[in-house]
Structure 1
Amino acid sequence: MALQFFTVIPVNKNLPMEKRAITGMYSIFPWIGAGIGAIACLVLYFEWSPLMTGFSIVLLGIVLSGGLHMDGYIDTSDAFFSYKDRLKRFEILEDPRVGAFGVMAVVFLVIGKVIIISEVLSTESFHWIFVMLIPFFSRALLGILFSVTNSAKTSGLAYYFKGKMNVNVVTITTACHFFVGLVVLGWMTNWVVAVTIAAVLFAFICLFRSWVLKNFGGVTGDLLGASVEISEVVLWLTLLLLFS
C-alpha cells in the first residue's frame, strides 16, 4: 500500500483499506523515503558537476514520488498566500488549478533545493548517506505530524486514513525509525551532525504543527505533502550551514 500510494511503482492490485493495513502503511512510510534516497544515490557514481548531480537528485525525488508531495506544497502555497479566511483556503486547497503563488513558490523551492544540495555536495564533509537519510527523515516527520495533529477537515483521503489508523502504533514506530536513522547518521558521519539534525527536526515539527493549527486548524494531505518538501530543504540547509 505504501508503494501504491506514495510512489510511481505500479502496484496493480486491490488492497484492503483496513485499519491494520493503513497503520502498517504509515508505519513503513519512512523506508519509502529511504528507498527513494537509495536510488538517488546512484547518480553520485557519475562524474557530473555538483550542480548537475544536485539537479538529478531533486528530479529523481519528484519523479519517484509521482510529484505527490510537491503537489501538496504548491496547493499549500496557493492557499496560504491568498491571505483569505480559513474556509476560502480550504477551497483553494481543493482547486485543481494552480495559481500564481503556487508557481512562484515551486520555482523558488526547486531552484533553492538544487543550489543548496549542490553546495553541500561541494563540501569535504559530504557523505552519500545524506542523500538517503534526508528523504527518510522527512517522511518520518510526516508520520509524526499526522499522528499528533487533528485533521483540518471532515472529508478527504487524509481524514479517512486518520480515522482508520492506529495513532499510537504509528507514533511509536515512527519514533523508533527516527532513532535508528539518527544512530546510522551519527555512526557514518559524526554525532554532532546527528544531534543537530535531531534538534532541527524537533524544532520543525513544533513550528510547522503550530503554523498549520493557526492557519488551517489542522492537517490535510496537501499540508502533509508540503511538510515533506519544506523539511527536506531545511535539513539540506542545516547541513550546508554546519559544513560552512
Structure 2
Amino acid sequence: MNSLLLALQFFTIIPVHKNLPMEERQISGIYSLFPWIGASIGAISCALLYFQWGPLMTAFSIVFMGVLLSGGLHLDGFIDTSDAFFSYRDRMKRFEILDDPRVGAFGVMAVVLLIVGKVIIVSEVLAAESFHWIFVLLLPLFSRAALVMLFGLTRSAKESGLAYFFKQKMNANAVILATACNIFVGLLLIGWMTSWLIAVTFAVVLLVFICFYRNWALKNFGGVTGDLLGACVEITEVVLWLTLLLLLS
C-alpha cells in the first residue's frame, strides 16, 4: 500500500499528503506498480470514448487526459531532453540544460510536434474500423513499462537527483521481472481481445525501442536521468500508436 501511495504521489496529480517510508521495498514496489498507474490513466481515458465525439476531438481529449493526470511530468522530461540533445553541445553542457528550468526553442518545437502528431495519429486509429478500447487502456501501461525496463537496465547518467536516489534503493532484478510480467499480461489481453499479430508486433517494437533508446541514452548522456526517462514514456506511446495505425490501416 505504501508503494502504491508513493507511486500516486510521484507520478500523478492525486494528492497524497503523507510522509511514507522510502526504502528498498517501497521503491521497488513503486516501479513494479508503475505500469498499472499508466493503465489506470488509460482506464479513465476510456470513459471519453462514450461521449461519441468525432475522432479528432476524442483523440485530443485522450492526449489531454494523459498529460493532466500525470501532471505533465513526462512531457516536461521530453521538453528538457529535446533542449539538451538538439543543442549539440558536450555532455556536461547537456546536463546543465537538463537542470535549467527554462524552456528553449528546441523544446518548444519538439513538444508541439509531439502533441500535434500524437493527436493526429490517435484520431486516425480511433477512426479505424477495427479499433478497440483496450488500446486506450493498455498503451499507457506499455509506455510506463518501457520506462521501468530502461531504468532497471541502464546506469544513472549522474550521481544526483531523484532518479539516482531511486536507482540506488531499487532492487533492479525484482522490478525487471515484475515489469516483464506486467508487459506479458498486457500483451495477452491485446492478443485475446483483438489480434495476436498486434500483440506480437507490440512485443517486438517494445524490445527494439528499449534497446535503441538505451543505446542512444548511453551514447549521448552516459546513462539515464529523470528527464530522459520521462521522454521515454512520451516517445514510446507515440511509437506504439503509430505502430497500431500501420497495423489497422
TM-score normalised according to structure 2 size: 0.98
How far the C-alpha of 1:148 sits from its partner, in A, is 0.3
Give matches, 1:1-244, under 5 Å.
Answer: 1-244=6-249
RMSD: 0.4
Cα distance in 1 for partners of 2:193, 2:101 equals: 43
SS in 2 for 1:96: coil
Structure 2 CA distance for aligned equivalents of residues 175 and 17 of structure 1 = 23
Q: Which runs of 5+ in 1 are unaligned?
A: none
Q: CA deviation at 1:26?
A: 0.5
1:122-170 per-residue CA deviation (whole Å, 9 max, x = no partner) reads: 0011000000100000001111000000000000000000000001110
State the distance in 1 between where 2:247 and 2:190 align: 14
Count of residues paired in the alignment? 244
> Which ranges of structure 2 fall in alignment gaps of 5 or more residues?
1-5
Structure 1 position 62, deviation (Å) = 0.1
Q: Give, in whole Å, the separation in 2 of the partners of 1:28 and 1:240.
A: 28
**Cα displacement (A) at 1:47:** 1.3
Counterpart code for 2:159? T
Deviates more, 1:29-38 or 1:10-19: 10-19
Q: Give the residue type in structure 1 aligned to 2:103.
A: V
Q: Kindly state the Cα deviation for residue 205 of structure 1 after the two structures are TM-superposed.
A: 0.5
Distance 2:75 2:156 in 1: 20
TM-score, normalised on structure 1?
1.00
Letter in 1 for 2:209: F
- Percent identity of paired positions between Structure 1 and Structure 2: 73
2-structure distance, mates of 1:24, 1:48: 38
**Greater than 4 Å deviation, 4+ residue runs:** none
Distance apart, 1:50 and its partner CA: 0.1
